[in-house]
Amino acid sequence: MLQKKFGYILIFPSFLVITLVLFYPLIYSLFLSFYQTSVGLGGLKLKFVGLNNYIDVLRSSEWWMSFLRTAYFVFYDIFVGMSLGLGIAILLNKNFRFRGIARTLVLFPYVLPTIVKALMWKWIYNSDYGFLNSLLYQLGIINHYIPWLSEPKLAIHMLIIVNLWEGTPFAIILYLAALQTIPNELYEAAEIDGANSWQIFSKITLPLLMPINLMLIVYKTIATFKIFDIVYALTGGGPGTTTQVVAHLMYSTVFDSLQFGKGASMSFILLIIILVLVYIYTKLFKSEINY
Amino acid sequence: MFFKKFLKVFLIFLLLAFVFTIAEEVELHTINGPGGLEWLIKRYKEFQDKTGIKVTTTVVPYGRDQNIKLMASFLAGGSAYDVFVIDCVEVPQYAEAGWVLAIDEYITPEMKKDLLPFAADGMMYKGKWYGLPWASEWKSFLYNANLLKKAGFTNPPKTWDEFVKMSQTLQNKGIVKYASAWSWAPKECLICDYVAIAATFGAELFDKDNNPKLNSPLAKQALQFMYDMIHKYKIVNPASISWTENDVDKAMAAGDVAFGMRWGLPLVMLNDPSQSKTVGQWKIALMPSIDGKHPYTVSGPMGWAVSAGSKHKEEAIKFIFFMADREGAKKAAIEQGVVPGWASVFNDKDVIKAVPGIEDLLEQGKYVVNRPRVPWYHDFSTMFAKELNSALSGIKSVDQALEDAQKKALEIKEEYEKSKLGK
């Protein structure tokens, strides 16, 4: 009994810190989302508006356009990012010379600080001196330099590439770890039974990776719906608003327009959408995960 | 026994020394972008050596990032940053919110007489002073005389027609790929350039009561011209719609463009061999305009200000005067290319000797327009930059973008007035 009490005493400071840094801001932002806010002498002025902020956001075409753009990022991150991650993980799972170095190199984008990544890609995409234009021009693929981040239809895809480059290593690590847990005997038995590579992959590897797939889909949905830094650093949401994602719109609503209540309601709408998506994923995958 | 007594006395002495150290050391906090940071830190150290008051700074990437941190500090009482650089467009908002200290009592009639009118005006709101002018800038139009000479031109363009023709000649002769580059990313820099260009067309974006007139025919004509420069005449680097001032500076310093606009004392950087490959090639000219009679540019006076919530107001005042009084401004002009707000500093022989092109610069200074100075500026400029950039990118037509901007500007104004009246 004494031991139990002592345990509670020991975890109390951590509990207090978590309450302060996590729950307080969360509850305060929920509170703010029901108020119209303005700044003035002595700080924030609040006026209760009920669900008006939520209704305004849901009626706003800017919000829905930003949401769809973000969903576009998520779509690529899940389908292309995970396929790439799995493909590279399968390659890195094989025995070859310099495998250790290759495994270290693929982690490179994951460990770089965001600001370094942003500056690096800004240089790569530079329309006059950029590495990408220079490479494609020298290979004869393009005959004039392209302003990658200034073309409305191109810019979002250039950001998607950066997001994939940034996010794929995480998928690689998880897939690589999961691949190493699959017993070799299963593959040996399949080979003895005469299964070809595709059959081995589709009947053994892929089903055993289902828990990781679910985890990655959930993680990528959450992480990519929050995408902000590369948009902020590379395009600032432009040209026009063609790369404005929800996190950027929230940032702009809160810090440029100082509409704290509206910004908070946006974040809770996004939270609800993500929770619904995660629930759907879990239901969909439930029947697939039988191992 | 003796040892115990000695230990007691020693501990008391130590405690007193600690208390006095804490009590005496005043530390002012400020916030800066990365531009000219080394020099600023050197000046903060000089201030500490002179007064014993320490100055520490938080470094943020660029422009608006500073406002966000400042506002968070203001909302929490305003003591996180004692002193900061305030932009003229922020003065109305910060003053209305009570975040910035009025410094009228420190501005003498003699000082008022010496301060440049537009710089002083930028620091004032409803008759009160909220900052000491610092970096009292406007954007200067520059041309690369060497490149123009190669194309057979001896003078810069006076009208936009001449500008287009000269640009096309420069490009057709293969001297430059694009004759000019601009800072037209959907940010504040685009508002600045548009305000200047619209003024050269004779357009006024706000009336005298600060009501928006963004969809006037002349305003549309100016934006249409900007669009045409990129898409019809193809004389502007198309990357300009995602570029900020830094990108334009780089293109100018590399000699990639023949025309450009720069804030401050532009030749200081362009003639610095460590930053520029085009030393001695750039000259300052008046802005081209639609008829050669409206050579307007945009001004953006800034000033050092004191937070109303600062716990060290007297020390903070001392600091802003150290940085931006006549002596401070002279040092800043000579060593860092910061445009002084004092007429006497402009006329100082050391400054004239050290800053090339200052006479041409002053000529342009007669034709400056300011961005709207409304308390709802941040909300407005964010919206307006997106609309302008949408038009320049071809996402919206010029007409549509400016009609939308006008409608939204009125909504923002109405919303602000409602919240102010507590309706």
Render pLDDT for B225-246 as a digit per residue (tens, 0 to 9).
Answer: 999 999 999 999 999 999 999 8
**Chain B residues touching residue A236 (CB < 8 angstroms):** 185-187, 242
Higher pLDDT, B241 or B21: B241
**Chain B residue with Cα closest to A123:** B247
* Residue B98 at interface with chain A, using a CB cutoff of 8 Å: yes
Q: Is A56 exposed, middle or buried (0-12, 13-18, 19+ CB in 10 A)?
A: middle
- Are B159 and B294 contacting, i.e. CB atoms less than 8 angstroms apart? no
Per CB-CB distance under 8 Å, the chain B contacts of A38 are 416, 419-420
**A26 occurs within a structural domain:** no
Q: Is residue A130 part of a domain?
A: yes
Confidence class for position B423, pLDDT limits 50, 70, 90: very low
Residue A91 burial (C-beta neighbours within 10 Å; 0-12, 13-18, 19+): middle
Q: Give CA–CA dist B379/B417, Å, rounded.
A: 13
Residue of B67, B242, B381 lying closest to A150 (CB–CB): B242
DSSP code for B329: H
Best A52, A114, A150 residue to mutate vs chain B (most B CBs within 10 Å): A150
In this structure, is residue A20 part of a structural domain? no
Evaluate whether residue A19 is within a structural domain. no
pLDDT(B19) > 60: no
Cis peptide before A239 (omega within 30 of 0): yes
Q: Domain range holding A94?
A: 59-287
Q: What is the pLDDT of residues A245-279, one digit of tens each?
A: 999 999 989 888 888 999 999 999 999 999 999 99
How many A×B Cβ pairs under 8 Å? 104
On the question of pLDDT at B179 being above 60, the answer is yes
Which residue from A217, A118, A105 is spatially nearest to A158, judged by alpha carbons? Answer: A118
Amino acid identity at B222: A
| Confidence label for B9 from pLDDT (cuts 50, 70 and 90) | low
- Structural domain contains residue A33: no
**Which are the contacts of B295, defined by CB distance < 8 A and separation ≥ 6?**
B158, B200, B286, B287, B288, B289, B364, B367
pLDDT digits (tens, 9 = 90+) for B82-128: 999 999 989 988 998 899 999 999 999 999 999 988 899 999 999 99
The CATH number assigned to the domain holding A246 equals: 1.10.3720.10
Residues of A with CB under 8 A from a CB of B: 36, 38-45, 47, 115, 126-128, 147, 149-152, 155, 235-242, 244, 252, 255-258
Instruction: Write the CB contacts of A133 (distance below 8 Å, at least 6 apart in sequence).
Output: A126, A127, A142, A145, A146, A148
Residues of chain A positioned with their CB less than 8 A from the CB of B77: 43
Nearest to A240 among B97, B239, B390 (CB): B390
Phi, psi for B286 (deg, rounded to 5):
-70, 150
Total structural domains within chain A: 1
Q: Which residues of A touch B68 (CB under 8 A)?
A: 255
Instruction: Using an 8 Å CB-CB cutoff, list chain A residues near B242.
Output: 147, 149-150, 155, 235-236, 238-239
Q: pLDDT tens, position by position, for chain A (291 residues)?
A: 678 888 899 999 998 998 888 889 999 999 999 998 877 655 677 889 999 999 999 999 999 999 999 999 999 999 999 999 999 999 999 888 888 888 888 888 888 887 788 889 999 999 888 999 999 999 999 998 999 999 999 999 999 999 999 999 999 999 999 999 999 999 999 999 999 999 999 999 999 999 999 999 999 999 999 999 999 889 989 899 999 999 999 998 988 888 899 999 999 999 999 999 999 998 888 766 555
Domains of chain B: 16-137+300-355 (3.40.190.10), 140-299+373-421 (3.40.190.10)
Residue A208 phi/psi, 5° resolution? -75, -15
| Rounded-to-integer distance, Cα B351 and Cα B200, Å | 30
Residues 6+ away with beta carbon under 8 Å from B71 = A39, A255, A258
> Is A239–B96 a contact, with Cβ atoms under 8 angstroms apart?
no
Shortest distance, CA A271 to any CA of chain B (angstroms): 24
A126 CB neighbours in chain B (<8 A) are: 239
The reply to whether B400 touches chain A by the CB within 8 Å rule is: no
Q: How many residues does chain B have?
A: 423
In sign, the C-alpha dihedral spanning B235, B238, B241, B242 is: negative
Mean pLDDT of chain B: 91
ipTM computed for the complex: 0.82
Residue range B27-33: mean pLDDT, rounded: 93
Tokens matching residue A100: 């250790």
Which residue from B97, B256, B389 is facing A238, i.e. has the nearest CB?
Answer: B389
pTM beyond cutoff 0.80: yes
What tokens appear for A114 in the block?
């965001």
A140 part of a folded domain: yes
- A258–B390: do the CB atoms touch at under 8 Å? no
Q: Is residue A50 part of a domain?
A: no
**What does R_g of chain B's alpha carbons equal in angstroms?**
24
CB contact under 8 A, A256 and B396: no
Q: Does residue A37 lie in a domain region?
A: no
| 3-state secondary structure at position B237 | coil
